[in-house]
Chain A
Amino acid sequence: MKTRVHVTLKNGVLDPQGKAIHHALETLGFDGVNDVRQGKLIELDLDENVTDAEIEDMCRKLLANMVIEDFEIEKEAA
């Protein structure tokens, strides 16, 4: 079962990489970009018997750092 974990910085946590991307987009002439935040996409290939609670546990214990990041779990429809 393919599961995607999106890890993003919490609101209010400075994202200098997002700022640099934002600046580069402006340099390329793209207007109307108000803000850029960079995150991570982690793809997991899981056995069917892995529970939602276990996936959450993986996120809290390793995939995301709850001090600075949020996560969102997206399960691919079977």
Chain B
Amino acid sequence: MKSAVIVFPGSNCDRDMAVALEAATGTKPHMVWHRETELPEGLGLIALPGGFSYGDYLRSGAIGANSPVMREVKAAAERGVAILGVCNGFQLLTEAGLLPGALLRNAGIRFVCRDVPLTVASSQTAFTSRYQADEEISIPVAHHDGNYFADDDTLNRLEGEGRIVFRYAENVNGSARDIAGIVNEAGNVLGMMPHPERMIEPAHGGKDGRRLFEGLVEALA
């Protein structure tokens, strides 16, 4: 399967994401600079990596969400291409309007960087087919602005439609309803603050993140 990683000025998890995608797909992903106005043809998956695009100026993800390539990412999302946004990628997806809500400064103000227990809230998505519902997994977080916020109507809708995919078993940033990751209505766009690409081999401390990539590749095959 062909995949791509979008690279912004200030992305810093793009290469980790590329390693995870290559491990899962068997092919090196295309690394696409954010100024590009076209995406490679035939992509099955586009990843928006973690980092600090544009130094988090204005708001995390706000400037990058208006980069030229994002128009193509939006069009791909509408065609049903799987989009995975991790950390800054999640912030970019909310700023771009591909996912509802916003990521606020962590409630405790501190940058949080450690492994965090998550609960798989839905195993019914293309991203989570290799997990059991309600399974607890461990994935690292590393963010300052991960406090998920949306109004009550939006939160109720996300909950009612089964679109909350991961919840913090230990809420490290104040996120509404312990939300760590959500999907869009069509289910092909996932945004999550924790970093599955940093938990794909035993040397990372576990392989709980690897199943996300493997399950996704299987679901998209």
Contacts and interface: CB of A to CB of B under 8 A. Distances in A.
Interface of A: 13-14, 16-17, 20, 61-63, 65, 67-68
Interface of B: 58-59, 62, 66, 94-95, 100-102, 104-109, 147, 149-151, 174
| Interface SS, B side | loop
A63 B58 contact: yes
19 contacts: A14-B104, A14-B107, A14-B149, A14-B174, A16-B105, A16-B106, A16-B108, A16-B109, A16-B174, A20-B109, A61-B66, A62-B62, A63-B58, A65-B62, A67-B94, A67-B100, A67-B102, A68-B104, A68-B149
Contacts, number: 35
A2 B178 CA distance: 43
A67 B149 contact: yes
Contacts of B104: 13-14, 68
Given A65-B102, A67-B102, A13 B149 contact: yes
| Interface SS, A side | helix
**A-B pairs with the 8 shortest C-beta distances?**
A67-B102, A68-B102, A16-B109, A16-B105, A65-B102, A16-B107, A20-B109, A65-B59
| Most B Cβ at <10 Å: residue of A13, A20, A68 | A68
